[in-house]
Amino acid sequence: MISTALTRGLRDARECRRLSAIRRKIRRESAAARERQRTRVQNGQLILPLANLPWVLLRYGLPLLAPGFAWLATRHDGPMAERYWLFAAASLLLIGGRTHFLIPNTFRLSVIENLYLPSKTGVVLARVFERLPLLLMLGLCWAAAYAIRLGPLWHELPIRCGLLLVIAALTAIVWHCGRLVLGFAGLGESVLAPWAVVALLAFALSQSWPSRLSSEVMTAFFVAVAFAFQLYKKAFRGPRTLARTLLFELRTAPRIAVAAGLCVPSAVITAVPTVVLALATAALVVGVVTGLDALCQLVPRAETLPRVVPQRPPAEHRTIALPTHSTGRRSFVRALWSRHRAKHLDWLGAIDRPSKLVTLPGKIMLAVVFHFWGVALAAVAVAMSANDDVQATLALLAAVTAPTFVYHGLSQQLQLLGVDYREQVRNNVRAGLVFVLLPLVAIGGIQAVANEPDRARFAAVALLAGVTLVRIGWRGLTSELTRNILVAPAVIVAAAAATIVLPIHARIGLFVAGMAALVGLVGIGLRLRRSEATLAGAFRT
Contact residues for another protein (CB under 8 A)?
19, 22-23, 26-27, 30, 109-119, 300-306, 313
Helix H or strand E segment including 8: helix 4-37
Residue among 188, 52, 167 at smallest CA distance from 107: 188
CB of 353 to another protein, least distance (A): 15
Helix H or strand E segment including 390: strand 389-390
CB 403 within 8 A of CB 370: yes
- b or e along 82-108 (b: 16 or more beta carbons within 10 Å of the residue's beta carbon)? bbbbbbbbbbbbbbbbbbbebbeebbe
Contact residues for 489 (Cβ-Cβ < 8 A; gap 6+)? 54
Measure CA 53 to chain center. Answer: 19
Task: Measure the CA–CA gap between 408 and 401, rounded to whole angstroms.
Answer: 16
| Beta carbon nearer to another protein, 48 or 438 | 48
CB of 29 to another protein, least distance (A): 9
| Beta carbon nearer to another protein, 105 or 207 | 105
| Beta carbon nearer to another protein, 26 or 199 | 26
> What's the Cα-to-Cα distance from 125 to each of 16, 103, 131, 467, rounded to whole Å?
9, 11, 10, 46
Task: Measure the CA–CA gap between 407 and 339, rounded to whole angstroms.
Answer: 11
| Beta carbon nearer to another protein, 23 or 343 | 23
Residue among 185, 203, 183, 206 at smallest CA distance from 195: 203
CB of 68 to another protein, least distance (A): 37
Task: Measure the CA–CA gap between 375 and 383, rounded to whole angstroms.
Answer: 12
| Beta carbon nearer to another protein, 303 or 452 | 303
CB of 306 to another protein, least distance (A): 4
CB of 104 to another protein, least distance (A): 14
CB 427 within 8 A of CB 411: no
CB of 111 to another protein, least distance (A): 5
CB of 99 to another protein, least distance (A): 24
CB of 344 to another protein, least distance (A): 22
Does residue 114 sit in helix, strand or coil?
helix
| Beta carbon nearer to another protein, 276 or 305 | 305
Residue among 266, 306, 70 at smallest CA distance from 161: 266
Examine residue 210 and say whether the peptide bond preceding it is cis (omega within 30 degrees of 0).
Answer: yes
| Beta carbon nearer to another protein, 296 or 516 | 296
CB of 307 to another protein, least distance (A): 9
CB of 113 to another protein, least distance (A): 7
Question: 167, exposed or middle or buried, with CB in 10 Å at 0-12, 13-18, 19+?
Answer: buried
- b or e along 378-412 (b: 16 or more beta carbons within 10 Å of the residue's beta carbon)? bbbbbbbbbebbbbbbbbbbbbbebbbbbbbebee
| Beta carbon nearer to another protein, 114 or 281 | 114
Alpha helices (H) along 209-301 = 215-231, 239-249, 253-263, 266-270, 274-298
Task: Measure the CA–CA gap between 302 and 316, rounded to whole angstroms.
Answer: 28
Task: Measure the CA–CA gap between 378 and 459, rounded to whole angstroms.
Answer: 12
CB of 135 to another protein, least distance (A): 24
CB of 65 to another protein, least distance (A): 33
Contact residues for 39 (Cβ-Cβ < 8 A; gap 6+)? none
